[in-house]
Amino acid sequence: MGRDRKQYLLRIPQELYDAYEAWAADEFRSVNAQIEAVLVDAARRARRLKKSRPESDS
């Protein structure tokens, strides 16, 4: 995966956002970075990513 970022509007229920916000705080990340980390992990587990990307602490 390159460093290019695609902007994408995501609408999620407030309860789910709150859960990600708390999770992100626990891991010293922004909510956006936490959602990305979860998506990358899911894609890796499903073997949908061609290259492995080092995890960042952003």
Alpha carbons 30 and 17: distance in angstroms, whole number: 12
- Expressed as residue numbers, the domain containing 22 is 14-45
Domain assignment present for 50: no
Our count of domains for the chain comes to 1
Please identify which residue in the block is written with the tokens 């626990």.
26
State yes or no: pLDDT of 47 exceeds 50. Answer: yes
Domain assignment present for 53: no
Domain assignment present for 52: no
What tokens were used for 46? Answer: 């499903």
Domain assignment present for 9: no
Domain assignment present for 7: no
Domain assignment present for 31: yes
Alpha carbons 31 and 46: distance in angstroms, whole number: 23
Closest CA to 1 of 45, 57, 44: 44
More confident: 2 or 18 = 18
Domain assignment present for 23: yes
How do residues 7-43 score in pLDDT, each as one tens digit? 999 999 999 999 999 999 999 999 999 999 999 999 9
